[in-house]
Amino acid sequence: MPNRYVRESAIESERVNSLSWQGEVFFRRLINKVDDFGRLYASPTLLRAALFPLQLDKVTEKDVVRLIAELEEKGLLATYEVDGKRFLALAKWEQGRAKKSKHPQPPDDICLRLQTYVYKCEEMSAHAPDSDTDSDTDSDSDNDNSSEEVKSEIETLRLRIGSWFKRRPTTQWSAKEMKVLKEVIKLKTPTEDIDLLEKRYLSGVDFLRQNPITLLNNWNGEIDKARQKTETPQLFQTPQPAVKRELDLKDWI
């Protein structure tokens, strides 16, 4: 396993600081465990054993499931399935020394959404920024979206999604939100799927994303949920927590 360190800029990361204490411990341990392509199995059983080998009596599989969901909600990782097995990929990850990943490649749309610099087992650019940078500039994206038609698509979807979260049309989106929105536009989502998603978000069911950027970071998953014709409000009732106590950070480190 390669030696890795977390740069001090992570302390100032908004996404990392938005995590719970347990979520940040989980995230930092993941950084040390993923392969050189930022990938790892997402089985709760395997992750629990790999990340907390000396705290198996304190960390349950349900804890691991919850923490994976928390990191995915914040856009720090994405999960995907290959041949019936679940895997995860960390966001903004540079390729290391290995020429081939130990785990299957995620779908192209996930690589794009996570802004990962490992793409089809190759680096996207020899000058890609470090994996812990959080730049809001994206010259390639700006070039791709330079046409008036694409600009119109971006603005139309921005206003539409904003209305789901009761944002005024005049409310300016952050650079991060606009960047992810441009990546979603590239996916060419069918209009009927967006209609279904709008219907779901205006219906008021539980387990909806709380803001545009988390929706955009989980776009395909939300589209899949909207496509499910058997979905009913009862399916989205908040389940009662199986474990009432809160794990302390000191229990994990």
Kindly state whether residues 131 and 33 are assigned to the same domain. Answer: yes
Kindly state whether residues 28 and 123 are assigned to the same domain. Answer: yes
Band of the pLDDT at 137, cuts 50, 70, 90?
very low
Q: Is residue 1, in this structure, part of any structural domain at all?
A: no
* Cα 78 from Cα 53, distance rounded (Å): 23
Measured CA distances, 140 to 51, 82, 121, 143, 159 (Å): 36, 29, 20, 5, 24
* Cα 157 from Cα 150, distance rounded (Å): 11
pTM: 0.47
Q: What is the tally of structural domains in the chain?
A: 2
Q: Is residue 252, in this structure, part of any structural domain at all?
A: no
Instruction: Identify residue 129 by its one-letter amino acid code.
Output: P
Give CA angle at 73 (68, 74), nearest 5°: 100
* CATH number of the CATH domain containing 131: 1.10.10.10
Q: Is residue 70, in this structure, part of any structural domain at all?
A: yes
Residue 122 reports pLDDT greater than 90: no
Kindly state whether residues 29 and 125 are assigned to the same domain. Answer: yes
pLDDT at 105: 86
Kindly state whether residues 71 and 177 are assigned to the same domain. Answer: no
Structural domain containing residue 179: 139-236
Measured CA distances, 28 to 10, 22, 33, 51 (Å): 10, 10, 9, 10
Kindly state whether residues 40 and 150 are assigned to the same domain. Answer: no
